[in-house]
């Protein structure tokens, strides 16, 4: 009996993903980047004064809008809390109040204190010198750090080339016919684009901007990404 993967009709998740990506032209991700850049101009992300502020922002932005994060960061800044040793010792109730506007404030306050504590015990400069995948593993071991938070810290705080995938990226890729999990989509971007920190930073920022201005406002009939020449489909329809 042949192995199940060779049976007619059987396709592993990886095979299915490869099949989908075969619809993507070699240059399509570059073309999309150029379209986005032309539409919005450089975004110069991440908007923060220090690496620790990037880290705090990466936690606060989970499941909320950036405008809420800005308010919370402002509160923390005014209270002098944007330093690991101060945040680690913060009174939990006051911290919750300062970040309440971001939602899930109890959970986020707890996570912020834990990550602040982590950076009081681990030197950030030394940590950020680790090879990217090793750094990723360390970050993922911190309470409350998932793929997106870890990769945002790697890219925007440690300045290492790691492509960040968020819900917006997943949605846009889905629209152009590519359905994949976090790591599959990340590998795809990293395979098809030059490994440049500035490019990865701008690309992610531009996707977020595009999603806010187009996808979030349901302007699908004006979608400028529909004009990209590719072999795939958008919303299941062949694009001309
Ligand atoms: S604007 Fe609509 S069609 Fe275009 S990427 Fe966003 S959700 Fe998809």
Question: pLDDT tens across 169-188, in order?
Answer: 999 999 988 889 999 999 99
Q: Identify the residue whose C-alpha is closest to ligand 1 atom 3.
A: 220
Enumerate the domain spans of the chain.
4-41+164-238, 51-157
Determine if ligand 1 sits within 6 Å of the CB of residue 89.
no
Cβ neighbours, 10 Å, residue 131: 9
Determine if ligand 1 sits within 6 Å of the CB of residue 228.
no
Per-residue pLDDT at 148 exceeds 90: yes
Distance separating alpha carbons of residues 103 and 63, to the nearest angstrom:
8
CATH of span 4-41+164-238 = 1.10.1670.10
- The residues, any chain, with a CB within 8 Å of residue 236's CB and separated by 6 or more, are none
User: What CATH architecture does domain 51-157 belong to?
Assistant: Orthogonal Bundle (1.10)
Question: pLDDT tens across 56-106, in order?
Answer: 999 999 999 889 999 999 999 999 999 999 999 999 999 999 999 999 999
Structure tokens at 116: 């602040």
Q: Where are the alpha helices (DSSP H) in the chain?
A: 13-21, 28-40, 51-60, 66-78, 84-88, 92-99, 105-121, 124-128, 132-140, 147-152, 167-175, 182-192, 197-213
| pLDDT recorded at residue 239 | 46
Determine if ligand 1 sits within 6 Å of the CB of residue 217.
no
For the CA of 235, the closest atom of ligand 1 is 3
Higher pLDDT among residues 179 and 226, named by residue: 179
Q: How many CA atoms lie within 13 A of 52 on its CB side?
A: 23
Residue 174: φ, ψ to 5°: -60, -45
Question: Interhelix angle for 182-192 vs 13-21, to 10°?
Answer: 40
Structure tokens at 42: 């450089």
């Amino acid at each position: 009996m042949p192995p199940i993967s060779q049976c007619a009709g059987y396709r592993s998740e990886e095979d299915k993903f490869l099949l989908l990506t075969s619809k993507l032209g070699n240059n399509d991700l570059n073309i999309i980047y150029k379209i986005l850049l032309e539409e919005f101009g450089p975004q110069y992300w991440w908007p923060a004064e220090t690496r620790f502020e990037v880290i705090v922002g990466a936690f606060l932005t989970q499941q909320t809008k950036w405008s809420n994060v800005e308010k919370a960061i402002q509160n923390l800044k005014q209270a002098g809390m944007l330093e690991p040793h101060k945040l680690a010792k913060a009174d939990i109730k006051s911290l919750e109040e300062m970040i309440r506007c971001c939602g899930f404030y109890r959970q986020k306050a707890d996570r912020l204190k834990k990550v602040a504590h982590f950076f009081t015990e681990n030197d950030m400069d030394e940590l950020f010198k680790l090879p990217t995948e090793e750094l990723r593993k360390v970050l993922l071991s911190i309470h409350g750090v998932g793929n997106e938070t870890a990769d945002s810290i790697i890219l925007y705080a440690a300045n290492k080339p790691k492509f960040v995938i968020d819900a917006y990226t997943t949605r846009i890729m889905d629209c152009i016919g590519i359905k994949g999990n976090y790591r599959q989509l990340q590998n795809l971007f990293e395979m098809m684009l030059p490994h440049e920190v500035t490019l990865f930073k701008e690309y992610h920022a531009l996707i977020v901007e595009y999603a806010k201005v187009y996808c979030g406002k349901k302007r699908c009939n004006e979608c400028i990404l529909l004009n990209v020449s590719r072999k795939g489909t958008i919303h299941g329809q062949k694009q001309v």
